[in-house]
């Protein structure tokens, strides 16, 4: 079922490894620190949680503890970028980009400087921290900004690759991370290139396009659909902007329908980006799995995914519904 070219983990469906996606960010920063002395890391009193602490301990002279001031952090980072440094700003996504959006827009994006904004604690899987700390709108507010690249890695390994790749780009970059341990689905050999979607499962009946930790739920859904004689194509959309429109259109030309799956508001996020592209190039029926215009709440991650209809079973139901609409 799995696309061999994707070189995915062999234990995806049983006894899979569990790691926080944010660990990949910390590991990526450490590798960058070894190879590029222009890389600097800024944080707002959240270095342990964002894993930027690992960089802080090894490269203390290139780490700046800003205190609780995300807006100022973005402005300082923009200045550092103007002077030739490669700054990574680290915080919870509700604070950065959430609270610091004005500074990101004007100081970073308007000047088109190379600042990487790393937003952690995204989605309802943040769990007991509740609605105030569950970033559900960050993809939307970042992908709308001119010059911004938006990356949503699916696991810790891909997050490390995305972090390292971000340092080699130009202009503003946003990387989104989840908090909880999630299944590791990729390997060190899995292909990763900014701007290119990866087909994890090839299929002909329905396109399942997803990003972040829900990639694993989507792979499980594809396995369940196969039992019903429906061959789903699973696409890992780790780069939401720039969007790999060619891969999406090539998929839906075969399947004639699509489900977008994201741990984010369905409006203006991954689903919105897909809908915009397909409306222009190849309109097909679409169902949206994600947060349906509501805030989250406190609870265990799996409880919240179930309440807000983002589980494997919910993806299967959405796929069956859109398949029926199209066929």
Those residues whose C-beta lies under 8 Å from the C-beta of residue 287, and which sit 6 or more positions away, are 258, 259, 260, 318, 319, 321, 322
Task: Tell me the pairing of strands 232-236 and 198-201.
Answer: antiparallel
Instruction: Using alpha carbons, select from 267, 258, 256 the residue that is nearest to residue 235.
Output: 258
How confident is the model over 160-207, as pLDDT tens digits? 999 999 999 999 999 999 999 999 999 999 999 999 999 999 999 999
Total number of residues shown for the chain: 327
Question: Could you give the CA distance from residue 261 to residue 24 in angstroms, rounded to a whole number?
Answer: 22
**The predicted structure's pLDDT at residue 172:** 99
How confident is the model over 111-167, as pLDDT tens digits? 999 999 999 999 999 999 999 999 999 999 999 999 999 999 999 999 999 999 999
**The predicted structure's pLDDT at residue 89:** 98
**The predicted structure's pLDDT at residue 145:** 98
Active site residue 70: yes
Q: Which two tokens stand for residue 128?
A: 């007991």
Q: Helices (DSSP H) in the chain: which residue ranges?
A: 21-35, 47-50, 53-58, 70-82, 101-103, 138-143, 156-167, 214-227, 245-255, 270-281, 301-307, 312-326
Helix, strand and coil percent figures for the chain, each rounded to 5: 45, 20, 35
* Percent residues over pLDDT 70 in the chain: 100
Q: What is the mean pLDDT of residues 275-304?
A: 98
How confident is the model over 55-81, as pLDDT tens digits? 999 999 999 999 999 999 999 999 999
Find out whether 296 and 136 touch, Cβ atoms under 8 Å. Answer: yes
**The predicted structure's pLDDT at residue 317:** 98
Q: Phi-psi category of 195—alpha, beta or left, where left has phi over 0 and alpha has psi -120 to 50?
A: left
Q: Which two tokens stand for residue 258?
A: 């699509």
**Bridge partners of residue 259, in order along the sequence:** 208, 287
Q: Which of 34, 70, 233, 303 is catalytic?
A: 70
DSSP tag of 49: H
Q: Which two tokens stand for residue 323?
A: 């398949």
Question: Could you give the CA distance from residue 319 to residue 317 in angstroms, rounded to a whole number?
Answer: 5
Domains recognised in the chain with CATH numbers: 4-15+190-326 (3.40.50.920), 18-183 (3.40.50.970)
**The predicted structure's pLDDT at residue 195:** 98
Find out whether 86 and 114 touch, Cβ atoms under 8 Å. Answer: yes
Q: What is the mean pLDDT of residues 91-115?
A: 98
At residue 168, the 3 state secondary structure works out as coil
Give the number of C-alpha atoms closer than 13 A to the C-alpha of residue 48, restricted to the C-beta side.
0
**The predicted structure's pLDDT at residue 143:** 98
Query: Model pTM?
Result: 0.98
**The predicted structure's pLDDT at residue 319:** 98
Place of tokens 């909880």: 180
Mean pLDDT of the chain: 98
How confident is the model over 256-279, as pLDDT tens digits? 999 999 999 999 999 999 999 999
- Of the pLDDT bands very low, low, confident and very high (cuts 50, 70, 90), residue 28 is very high
**The predicted structure's pLDDT at residue 150:** 99
CA angle 177, 153, 47 (to 5 degrees): 30
């Amino acid at each position: 079922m799995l696309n061999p070219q994707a070189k995915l983990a062999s234990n995806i469906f049983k006894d899979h490894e569990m790691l926080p996606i944010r660990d990949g960010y910390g590991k990526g920063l450490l590798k960058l620190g070894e190879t590029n002395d222009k890389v600097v890391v800024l944080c707002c009193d959240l270095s342990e949680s964002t894993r930027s602490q690992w960089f802080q301990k090894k490269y203390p002279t290139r780490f700046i503890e800003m205190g609780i001031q995300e807006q100022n952090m973005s402005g300082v980072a923009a200045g550092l970028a103007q002077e030739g440094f490669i700054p990574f700003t680290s915080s919870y996504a509700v604070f950065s980009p959430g609270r610091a959006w004005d500074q990101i827009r004007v100081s970073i994006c308007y000047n088109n400087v190379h600042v990487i904004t790393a937003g952690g604690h995204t989605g309802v899987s943040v769990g007991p921290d509740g609605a105030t700390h569950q970033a559900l709108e960050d993809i939307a507010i970042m992908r709308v900004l001119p010059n911004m690249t938006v990356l949503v890695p699916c696991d810790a390994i891909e997050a490390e690759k995305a972090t390292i790749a971000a340092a080699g780009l130009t202009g503003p970059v946003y990387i989104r991370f989840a908090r909880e341990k999630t299944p590791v689905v990729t390997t060190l050999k899995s292909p990763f290139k900014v701007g290119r979607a990866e087909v994890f499962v090839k299929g002909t009946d329905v396109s399942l396009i997803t990003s972040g930790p829900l990639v694993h739920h989507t792979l499980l859904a594809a396995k369940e659909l196969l039992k019903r004689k429906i061959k789903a194509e699973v696409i890992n959309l780790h780069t939401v902007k720039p969007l790999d429109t060619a891969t999406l259109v090539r998929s839906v030309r075969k399947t004639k329908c699509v489900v977008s799956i994201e741990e984010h508001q369905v409006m203006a996020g991954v689903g919105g980006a897909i809908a915009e592209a397909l409306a222009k190039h190849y309109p097909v029926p679409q169902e949206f799995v994600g947060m349906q215009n509501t805030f989250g709440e406190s609870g265990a991650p799996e409880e919240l995914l179930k309440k807000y209809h983002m589980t494997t079973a919910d993806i299967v139901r959405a796929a069956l519904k859109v398949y029926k609409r199209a066929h």
